[in-house]
Chains A and B, each alone.
Chain A
Amino acid sequence: MRTELRGTPTSISLPNPNLLQNPQGSLPGALRGCLGSLDGACIEKLLLHCAGALESNDVTLAQQVMWVLNNVASPNGDPNQRLTSWFLRALIARASSLCPTAMPFAATGLARARPMTVTELAGYVDLTPWHRFGFSASNGVILKAVQDRPKVHVLDFGITHCMQWPTLIDALAKRPEGPPSLRITVPSARPPVPPSLNISIEEVGIRLAKFAKFRDVPFEFHVIKPNSAHSDDSIDTALRFRQELASGQLDPSSLGLRDDETLVVNCQSWLRYLPEESGGTTRDPSSRDGFLGFIHGLGPRIVTVTDEDSDLDSSSLTSRIMACFNYLWILFDALETFLPKEGPQKTEYEADIGQKIENIIGFEGDRRIERSESGARFMQRMRRARFQSIQFDEETVKEVKLLLDEHASGWGMKKEEDMLVLTWKGHSSVFTTAWVPDGFDE
Chain B
Amino acid sequence: MPVELENSSVMTFSNSGSGEASVSSGQQQAPPPPPPPAKKKRNLPGMPDPDAEVIALSPKTLMATNRFVCEICNKGFQRDQNLQLHRRGHNLPWKLRQRTGKEARKRVYVCPEPSCVHHDPSRALGDLTGIKKHFCRKHGEKKWKCDKCSKKYAVQSDWKAHSKTCGTREYRCDCGTLFSRRDSFITHRAFCDALAEESAKSQTNNTAASAPAAPENQKAEDDGKAAAAPAPAPAPPAPEKSLPPAAMPGAGLSRQLGAPPEQQREPENPPAGMLQYMPPAPPPPPSSITIGSNNSSGTTSSSGGSSSGTSTSLFASLFASASATAAAQSTTFSDLIGAMSRTDRSLATEAPSLCLSTNGPASLFSQPPQERRPFLPPPPPPSPHMSATALLQKAAQMGAAATSSSSFLRGFGLATSTAGHPEGLNDGGFHWRPQQQQLEPEPTPILSAGLGLGLPYDTAAAAAAAAAGLPDLMMGPPPLFGPKPATLDFLGLGMGPVGGAATGGLSALITSIGGGGLDMGSGAAAAASAGRFGGGSSPGKAWEGAERKPNSPAIL
Contacts and interface: CB of A to CB of B under 8 A. Distances in A.
A31 interface: yes
A16 B522 contact: yes
A22 interface: yes
B189 A211 contact: yes
Interface string B242-261: 11000111111111101100
B107 interface: no
Interface in B226-275: 238, 240-243, 247-256, 258-259, 262, 264-266, 269, 271-274
A210 B413 contact: no
A213 B250 contact: no
B285 interface: no
Contacts of A77: 381, 383, 457, 459, 461
Given A77-B383, A103-B332, A59 B258 contact: no
Interface in A95-134: 95-96, 98-107, 109-114, 116-127, 132
B392 to A, nearest CB: 5
A59 B551 contact: no
A366 interface: no
A351 B270 CA distance: 13
A330 B528 CA distance: 17
Interface in B328-344: 332-334, 336-337, 340-341, 343-344
A63 B314 contact: yes
Contacts of B398: 64, 67
B74 interface: no
B485 interface: no
B12 interface: no
Given A27-B509, A45-B526, A79-B549, A37 B411 contact: no
B386 to A, nearest CB: 6
B530 A39 contact: yes
A186 interface: no
A81 B274 CA distance: 13
A16 B524 CA distance: 10
A119 B266 contact: no
B150 interface: yes
B212 A38 contact: no
A122 B341 contact: no
Which of B183, B311, B354, B517 gathers the greatest number of chain A CB atoms within 10 Å?
A: B183
Main secondary structure of the interface of A (DSSP, over half): helix
Interface in B505-551: 505-506, 508-510, 512-513, 516-519, 521-530, 532-535, 540-544, 547-549, 551
Contact of A46 (B277, B354, B388, B399): B388
A413 to B, nearest CB: 15
Given A25-B516, A106-B279, A113-B266, A126 B522 contact: no
Given A212-B210, A342-B242, A38 B316 contact: no
Contacts of B258: 117, 119-120
Contact of B187 (A67, A166, A326): A166
B466 to A, nearest CB: 12
Contact of B276 (A45, A112, A199): A112
Interface stretch (A224-232, A236-244, A333-341): A333-341
A29 B555 CA distance: 15
Contact of A354 (B187, B190, B265, B277): B277
A214 B264 contact: no
Interface stretch (A299-307, A313-321, A402-410): A402-410
Interface in B141-188: 149-151, 180-181, 183-184, 186-188
A338 B250 CA distance: 12
A35 B474 contact: yes
Contacts of B412: 63, 66-67, 70
B417 interface: no
Interface stretch (A84-92, A146-154, A269-277, A434-442): A84-92
Contact of A207 (B190, B381, B553): B190
A121 B411 CA distance: 41
A52 B40 CA distance: 82
B392 A64 contact: yes
A151 to B, nearest CB: 16
B450 interface: yes
Main secondary structure of the interface of B (DSSP, over half): loop
Contacts of A14: 525
B344 A122 contact: no
Contact of A41 (B187, B312, B526): B526
A213 B524 CA distance: 61
A77 B344 CA distance: 11
B187 A92 contact: no
Contacts of B334: 104-106
Interface in A339-371: 339-340, 342-345, 347-348, 350-351, 354-355
B223 A117 contact: yes
Contacts, number: 499
Contacts of A53: 505
B276 to A, nearest CB: 4
A45 B423 CA distance: 29
Which of A1, A59, A425 gathers the greatest number of chain B CB atoms within 10 Å?
A: A59
A165 B454 CA distance: 51
A415 B307 CA distance: 54
A146 to B, nearest CB: 18
B505 A61 contact: yes
Interface string B470-507: 00001000000000000000110100000000001110
Given A72-B457, A354-B277, A37 B252 contact: no
B184 A126 contact: yes
B382 interface: yes
Contacts of A163: 187
A391 interface: no
Given A39-B533, A39-B552, A210-B196, A114 B253 contact: no
A93 B458 CA distance: 28
Contacts of A340: 241-243, 247
Contacts of A57: 310-311
Which of A70, A75, A198 gathers the greatest number of chain B CB atoms within 10 Å?
A: A75
Contact of B518 (A32, A136, A344): A32
Contacts of B242: 340, 342-343
B314 A59 contact: yes
Contacts of B247: 338-340
B452 A59 contact: no
B199 A214 contact: yes
A374 B340 CA distance: 33
B221 interface: yes
Which of A28, A44, A80 gathers the greatest number of chain B CB atoms within 10 Å?
A: A28
A410 B264 CA distance: 35
Given A26-B516, A26-B519, A122-B188, 6 more contacts: A33-B525, A98-B315, A123-B251, A214-B198, A339-B243, A426-B542
21 contacts: A1-B528, A3-B532, A32-B493, A34-B530, A38-B551, A63-B408, A68-B394, A71-B384, A80-B551, A99-B311, A105-B332, A110-B279, A113-B277, A122-B191, A122-B254, A125-B187, A126-B183, A211-B190, A340-B241, A340-B247, A408-B150
Interface of A: 1, 3, 13-18, 22, 24-42, 44-46, 53, 57-68, 70-81, 85, 88-89, 92-93, 95-96, 98-107, 109-114, 116-127, 132, 135-136, 163, 165-167, 169-170, 198-199, 203-204, 206-214, 219, 326, 329, 333, 336-340, 342-345, 347-348, 350-351, 354-355, 403, 405-410, 425-427
